[in-house]
């Protein structure tokens, strides 16, 4: 049996456009976070997801 790699589901929504702050307007990850996502361990991915939620909450595009 192979080793299971437990990872967090990517927040990608196929709207790939980085703003002037290098943050994707679709998933709220930085360019670096996007490029490293596949090689991150679960803890690192969860840390990115926390940043994603914080960025999304601050976004003017989110009503609320």
pLDDT tens, residue by residue, 8-62: 999 999 999 999 999 999 999 999 999 999 999 999 999 999 999 999 999 865 5
Contact 23, 29 (CB under 8 A): yes
Q: How far apart are the first and last CA of the chain?
A: 47
- Residue 1 pLDDT exceeds 90: no
CA–CA separation, 39 vs 36, rounded Å? 6
The predicted pLDDT at position 62 comes to: 53
Cβ contacts of residue 60 below 8 Å, gap of 6+? none
3-state helix, strand, coil in the chain (%, to 5): 40, 5, 55
CA atoms within 13 Å, Cβ hemisphere of 46: 5
The predicted pLDDT at position 2 comes to: 43
């Amino acid at each position: 049996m192979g080793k299971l790699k437990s990872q967090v589901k990517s927040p990608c929504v196929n709207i790939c456009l980085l703003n002037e702050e290098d943050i994707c307007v679709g998933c709220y990850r930085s360019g670096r976070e996007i490029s490293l996502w596949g090689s991150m361990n679960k803890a690192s991915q969860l840390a990115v997801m926390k940043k994603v939620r914080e960025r999304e909450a601050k976004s003017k595009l989110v009503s609320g």
